[in-house]
Amino acid sequence: MREVFIGRQPILDRDVKIFGYELLFRDREENFAIIRDSIEATARVVVNLITYMDFKELLNNKKGFINVSPEFIEGDLIDVLPENKIVLEISEVERLNKFVIDSIEKVKERGYQVALDNVHFNEILTPLLEVVDYVKINIKKYSDPELKEIVDFLKRYSVKLIAVRVETEKDFLFTKELGFDYFQGFFFERPTIKKEKKLPSYKLALLKLLKMAILEQSIDEMAEVIKGYPDLSYKLLRYVNSPFFYLRNKIHSVKQALSILGYRNIQIWTVLQLFASEGGDVKFNPVLERAVIRGKMMEILASKITSDIDIIEKAYLAGMLSLIHVVLSRPLDEVLNELYIDEDIKKALIEHEGMLGHIIASIEELEMDRIDEARKHLFKVNLGLEELLSAELEAITFYENFMESL
């Protein structure tokens, strides 16, 4: 059986918190679309998913959207999918007949939710719209007036609407105003840069702490910065006392916690706090998730190229910092210059130069499903697509386990 890898793309709610994931099934063959082309391919993916992967780690109590066909959901293999976690996503329904309706009604009776994707919206769909739970709409396929007309039509039914390919802040604000319930795309990685925007003192303190850790300044001085923010002190102690570090004895002082963490882990913890400082549950923060996954993927891939610990640690930090401009709403090069960050990291993130640059570029291309471009960057560092896909899956698992320590 050919290997199957799984990526995932967040589906966000109106508060830009993670509601669920579309599970992106990938193989290492040239044709990435093959997995979605037939019942056999879907079945092969589900078998691999159940056999080798953990739903709890992949989804962490969120919804998982899986692309299937009406014929597939009539088969026995659907029984292995957990009905309380999975949304069965049916694409390109070309003909509406009793078989399609009956198939959906049967899985609904068994507790599954159903989504429609990539369908033509008209009155003929009425019977389907009365039984499905979600409708996904590719907003790039329609003009603004057409999109409004479609939303007005669908709002007559009790379905939840998911806007797909929401790629800019403008897309998000427009679709939110139209009444979409959920959003899928990369808009959260493309911030509107406002250079005059003032950072709150909490973030300024974190940036100062990050700079001090990068320059390996005095632990005593760093402790004084943290002590000015009781909530930050609490988070630091909770982090260092978490099972992630397997300490024998509890740590009770900020200085002791910093000493145990060391400069590299202080850098990572500070970056995490910058991402998480917007409030709310960090486990639902899509930018934090992507930053941690990028960092871990960078570390995994760098370790396949070199055994130099210094470079591997730079790789992890580079991945984490690749989205720092999103939470600060400032140009990335400006932020990196202020932090006096290592030149290798700066060139990797700004210009995609060097080994680290090609690795982060391959990750970014994979996120946007530009597979051929990802291959080009991987080739320059003697890595293959299979290694990139394996790193993605390992990083997803790492992220879900790591979140338990925050």
d(CA 64, CA 396): 14
> Which residues 6+ apart lie within 8 Å of 181 measured at CB?
13, 14, 160, 161, 162
d(CA 350, CA 339): 14
Number of Cα atoms under 13 Å in the Cβ half of residue 365: 19
* Amino acid in position 391: A
Length of the chain: 406
Identify the structural domains of the chain with CATH numbers, from first to last.
5-188 (3.20.20.450), 191-406 (1.10.3210.10)
Nearest to 189 by CA among 283, 324, 345: 324
Q: Is the pTM of this model over 0.85?
A: no
Q: Which residue has the tokens 């007309």?
A: 149
Q: Which DSSP category does 30 fall into?
A: S
**What pLDDT does residue 329 have?**
81
**What pLDDT does residue 331 have?**
87
d(CA 132, CA 179): 18
> Which residues 6+ apart lie within 8 Å of 229 measured at CB?
202, 205
Nearest to 339 by CA among 368, 369, 310, 318: 318
Structure tokens at 304: 């396949």
Structure tokens at 63: 């919804």
Number of Cα atoms under 13 Å in the Cβ half of residue 1: 14
Helix (H, G, I), strand (E, B) or coil at 11: strand
Ordered per-residue pLDDT tens for the chain, 406 residues? 456 677 788 999 998 888 999 887 776 554 444 444 445 656 666 766 666 566 666 777 789 898 887 777 877 778 778 888 889 998 766 666 777 888 888 899 888 999 998 877 767 778 888 899 999 999 999 999 999 999 999 999 999 999 999 988 889 999 999 999 999 988 766 555 444 456 778 888 899 999 999 999 999 999 999 988 888 888 888 888 877 777 777 888 899 999 999 999 899 999 988 887 655 566 678 888 899 999 999 999 999 999 999 999 999 999 999 999 888 888 899 999 989 899 999 999 999 999 999 999 999 999 888 899 999 999 999 999 999 999 998 998 888 877 766 5
Q: In terms of DSSP bridges, do strands 182-184 and 113-117 run parallel, antiparallel, or are they unpaired?
A: unpaired
